[in-house]
Amino acid sequence: MVRVTPRTRTDEDGRDSALPEVAVQTAATGTDLPLISARSLVKRFGDFVAVDGIDVEVHRGESFGFLGPNGAGKSSTMRMIGCVSPVTDGELNIFGLDPATDGKQIRARMGVVPQLDQLDEQLTVIDNLILYGRYFDIPRAECKRRAAELLEFVQLTERAGSKIEPLSGGMKRRVTIARSLINEPELMLLDEPTTGLDPQARHVLWDRLYRLKQRGVTLVLTTHYMDEAEQLCDRLVVMDQGRIVAHGSPRELIETHSTREVLELRYAAGTNEERADEVAGIGDRQEVLPDRVLIYAHDGEAALGEVHRRGSVPVSALVRRSSLEDVFLRLTGRTLVD
Ligand SMILES: Nc1ncnc2c1ncn2[C@@H]1O[C@H](COP(=O)(O)OP(=O)(O)O)[C@@H](O)[C@H]1O
Ligand SMILES: [Mg+2]
């Protein structure tokens, strides 16, 4: 079961502390029912288990992430939540409704950004939005009004009359996001919103998603980028092979599963394995990857001092903060990015 974590604030010493219980209880009166509640949720394709009994609760106003590598079961989960793929086993409730019987009602209150853009290449940008709005039986004049406003929001007003094909990947993503907002959803599902985009396009999208969150839209997203999860998610689950292997805020996950700092050592190609012996026992833990040796330590500089004292000379050395990538490596023995 994913714990319902009270919203946190940052104290002067930089540590998170939970707000008093009373604040949470006040919020619970009436509106704090989870928007999404999954218990022992399973998705099978034939004999293959893509989602293997996951428990998740997402609350109104939060930004919730599924972080995991390709094949973890993120899209399968999102498609069940999006009411386009039937639940194989377990329980799933969205807005307190059952996707098996209330799919249309649920979809009317939800915005969906699928992993691959499914825009109509034959239509202009603005007509893609208007047509989509018509599926929700929103009157045409209202669709037009909203479409213009949404193109403004995703900074594509000047491309309203353009066809889809000439747009960049980042622009198409923004059209899809604008389209998903046409029914003024309370909840947005975003499946790998920035995969394949260049850094600048990703930052534009992050900014738009942040604004949506500030407007009170609940965001549920999947990603295999740990920096995206750290930027956007209040709370996340780490998924691997259909299972949830950890959950919490990015900070909680790093504090629980990693050290404060990491020393990255690079030795000559192909020698990391043997050179790792020279630095064995330094820090709390060591990981030997094909291209580098990672030393997990509270104080990375001190660990590097010890490396030097032992006479070990890496080609390069770098001290950095622990990230969700380190959490994933610790939990699964594998790196996130393939
Ligand atoms: N329609 C399908 N039929 C059979 N297997 C599928 C289908 N969709 C997904 N899978 C398999 O389920 C696993 C999880 O896929 P997916 O949910 O797309 O993972 P992710 O989105 O995390 O990359 C993968 O091994 C994938 O091949
Ligand atoms: Mg996917």
Q: What is the pTM of this model?
A: 0.87
Nearest Cα to Cα of residue 216 among 2, 35, 4: 35
Residues 65, 223 contacting (CB under 8 angstroms): yes
Note residues around ion ligand 2 (Cβ under 5 angstroms).
Answer: 74-75, 115
Residue nearest to atom 24 of ligand 1 (CA): 71
Question: What's the CA gap between 88 and 131, in Å, rounded?
Answer: 32
Mean pLDDT, residues 153-181: 96
Tell me: do 185 and 300 sit in the same domain: no
20-24, 25-29, 72-76, 287-291: which is most confident: 72-76
pLDDT of residue 32: 72
pLDDT of residue 154: 96
Tell me: do 96 and 136 sit in the same domain: yes
Residue nearest to atom 8 of ligand 1 (CA): 76
Ligand nearest, relative to CA of residue 190 = 2
Question: What's the CA gap between 322 and 303, in Å, rounded?
Answer: 14
pLDDT exceeds 70 at position 33: yes
Mean pLDDT, residues 131-139: 96
pLDDT exceeds 80 at position 19: no
pLDDT band at 213 (very low <50, low <70, confident <90, very high): very high
Name the residue range of residue 275's domain. 259-321
Residue nearest to atom 2 of ligand 1 (CA): 45
Strands (E), the chain: 8-10, 16-18, 36-45, 48-58, 63-67, 89-94, 110-113, 187-191, 218-223, 235-240, 243-248, 261-266, 285-288, 293-297, 316-321
Task: Write out pLDDT tens, residues 48-86.
Answer: 999 999 999 999 999 999 999 999 999 999 999 999 999
User: Can you tell me which atom of ligand 1 is nearest the CA of 242?
Assistant: 14
Ligand 1 pocket, Cβ-based, cut-off 6 angstroms: 45, 48, 50, 68, 70-76
The CATH number that applies at residue 274 is: 3.30.70
Q: Picking from 31-40, 69-78, 131-140, 257-266, which range would have the lowest pLDDT averaged per residue?
A: 31-40
The CATH number that applies at residue 148 is: 3.40.50.300
Residues 201, 168 contacting (CB under 8 angstroms): yes
pLDDT exceeds 60 at position 7: no
Residue nearest to atom 12 of ligand 1 (CA): 50
Ligand nearest, relative to CA of residue 192 = 2
Final residue in a domain of this structure, among 229, 248, 267: 248
Tell me: do 73 and 160 sit in the same domain: yes
Please report the sign of the dihedral spanned by the C-alpha atoms of residue 38, residue 189, residue 226, residue 117. positive
pLDDT band at 338 (very low <50, low <70, confident <90, very high): low
Q: Provide the mean pLDDT of the chain.
A: 90
For a ligand 1 pocket test, name from 51, 76, 85, 116 the mutation site with the most ligand atoms within 8 angstroms of its C-beta: 76
Whether residue 276 is contained in a domain is answered as: yes
For a ligand 1 pocket test, name from 45, 113, 222 the mutation site with the most ligand atoms within 8 angstroms of its C-beta: 45
Tell me: do 108 and 199 sit in the same domain: yes
Ligand nearest, relative to CA of residue 47 = 1
Question: What's the CA gap between 98 and 79, in Å, rounded?
Answer: 14
